[in-house]
Structure 1
Amino acid sequence: MTTWMPQAPAPERVPAGASAEGDGIVIGAGPVTIDTYIDFLCPFCKQFEETAGPTLDRLVAEGLTTIVFHPMTFLDRLSTDHYSSRASSSSGCAADGGRFRDYGRALFARQPPEGGPGLTDETLVEIGRSVGLGEPSFARCVLGRAYLAWSAYVTFMAGRRGVGATPTVTVDGMSVPANPRAILTAVATVAG
C-alpha cells in the first residue's frame, strides 16, 4: 500500500551555504553532523545559544563536526507581525554574506518578547550592519524578504522529520537534549 505525502514546497531560491536538502545552513565540515532546529523568537533557543553556542563553535573549529542550523518559523503565531519568518528570512540573507553565525547570535541578543511585534525589518538590517553586513545587497535581501519561501520550507521539512519544538538537536540523526554536555557525549559516542 502506498501512502501519499504532500511534496515539500521547495523554494526557488536558497541561501548560500544551504544543506544538500536546502533546509538549513551548514557550518563546518567535520565527520559528525549536528542538526539544530531553532526559532529566533524562542527564549529557550536564546538560552541554548548562550549555553551551547561556544561548544558548537569549538567543535566546528576543531574539525569534529558539521552543524546544520534550521531557522524555523515555528513561533509566528506568538508574534503580531510574523517575526519568526522575517528573522529566519533575514538569517538567509546573512548566510549569503557569510555571517550566519554572527548574525544569529546578534538576533538572539536582541530577541523581542513573545506575544507582540518583533523587530522591524529596518532593525534587522541594522543588526546585520553591526556584524559586518553593510552591503546594499544585504539590506535589499532583508527588506525584500527574499527568503520567506525558504523559511517556510525549513519549517515544513522539520515537521516531516518529527520536530515539534525548538530547540531540537540531533547528532547524526539521534535526538539529544539541547545542552552542551549531552551534545559532547553524543559527538564522542558517534566519533568512537
Structure 2
Amino acid sequence: MSKSQRDRAAAKRIVEQQKAAERRRRVTIWTSVAVVGVLVIAGLIGWGVLSKQESSDAGKLTTPSVAVDEGTAFAFGTGKVTIDLYEDFMCPICNEFETSAADTIDSLITANTVTVRYHPVSILDRASNGTEYSTRAAGAGAAAAEGGKFREFHKVLYANQPEENSDGLTDAKIIELGKSVGLGDDFATAVNDKTYDSWATKVTETFSARGYTGTPTVVVNGKQLQGASGGVPTAADLSAAVTSAG
C-alpha cells in the first residue's frame, strides 16, 4: 500500500470515528431531553392533582345532616302552614323582625300551627371589613343546628349582633356565645375549621336562584310576604298570612 493510500485510509477512519462520536452524542442528548420531558410532564401532572385536591378540600361542601329543603334550612314545628325565613345575621332589619316577631313565631310553633324553616344566608359579607362575618355566622348557625341548639343560638347571636361595616364578632366570641346556650367542643371545632362556610355560600346561591334579593325575606306557603308599602312584614302581618293560609 502506497503512502497516499495509507493516508486516505487513516483519514477515512478518523471521519468514521467522528461520525460515530456524533451519533453517540445525539443519542445522549435526545435521551436526556426525553427523560427531562417525562419528568416535567410527571411533575405537572402531580402538581395538577395536588392543586385540584387542595382546591377541592378548600371548597368542600358539608351539608348539615339536619338540614331540610334541599339542605338549605332548619325546620321547627309540625304545622301545615310553612314559613320560610331567609335572614343574614349581620342584617339590622333582620334583627328588628326577630325582635318584633319572635314571640309570635314561638307561639305558632308551640301550637303546631306552622312549620318554620330558617335559611341563614350571607349577602352582607361586604359589610364586615373583609372578615366575612355573615358567612361565618351562618356557618356557625349550621354547627349549632347539628348540636341541637339552632334556635337558642339564633336568639343569642341576634342579641349580640355587631353593627354593619364593623369586623363582626370574632370566632372566639361566636364560640363563647355557643357555649352560653349549651354547645360544646364539636361546635367550637366546626367554627374554627369553617366546616359549614361553603354550605352558607350554597344556601345564599339558592336564595338568589329562587329570585330573592334582600333580607329578611318571609315566605308563607310559597308566597313572599310583604308589609305595608312593600316593606318588612310585622308580626301582625305574619299572623294574618298564616291564618289566611291555614
Normalising by structure 1, we get a TM-score of: 0.91
- Greater RCO between the two (CA within 8 Å, min separation 6)? 1
Give the fraction of aligned pairs with identical amino acids, expressed as a percent. 39
Give runs of ≥4 in structure 1 deviating > 6 Å.
none
Query: Please, what TM-score do these two structures have when normalized by structure 2?
Result: 0.71
* Mapping 1:65-76, distance limit 5 Å: 65-76=114-125
Alignment partner, residue 39 of structure 1 = 88
Q: Return 5+ residue gaps in structure 2 as ranges.
A: 1-58, 227-232
Contact 2:221/2:245, CA 8 A, preserved across alignment: yes
Residue 77 of structure 2: aligned partner: 28
Residue 99 (structure 1) aligned to one of 149, 172, 189:
149
1:125 aligns with 2:175: yes
Match of 2:106 in 1: 57
- Deviation, structure 1 residue 21: 0.7
Amino acid at match of 1:185: A
Whole-Å separation in 2 of the counterparts to 1:22 and 1:144: 20
CA contact (8 A) 1:16 1:95 kept: no
How do 1:144-183 and structure 2 match up within 5 A? 144-177=193-226, 178-183=233-238
Equivalents in 2 of 1:118, 1:163: separation in Å?
24
Kept in 1, the 8 Å contact 2:61–2:196? The answer is no
Give the aligned CA root-mean-square deviation in angstroms. 1.3
Q: 1:139 aligns to what? A: 188
Give secondary structure in 2 for the equivalent of 1:70. Answer: strand
Query: Matched residues in 2 for 1:140 and 1:123: separation?
Result: 14
User: Is it true that 1:15 corresponds to 2:61 in the alignment?
Assistant: no
Q: Deviations over 1:143-192 (max 9, x none)?
A: 1111011100111011011110000101001111232111111111111x
The answer as to whether partners of 1:89 and 1:150 remain within 8 angstroms in 2 is yes
1:84 corresponds to: 134
Q: Residue type of the partner of 1:64?
A: T
**Aligned partner letter, 2:110:** A
Q: Is the 8 A contact 1:11 1:149 kept in 2?
A: yes
Q: 1:163 to 1:11 in 2, by over 3 A?
A: farther
Structure 2 partner of 1:7: none
1:11 shift after superposition: 6.7
SS of equivalent residue, structure 1 residue 118: coil
Q: Could you list the runs of 5+ residues in structure 1 that have no partner in the other structure?
A: 1-9
Aligned: 1:115 with 2:165: yes
Aligned residues: 181
> Whose Rg is larger?
2
CA distance in 1, matches of 2:89, 2:106: 18
- Note the C-alpha offset of 1:30: 1.1
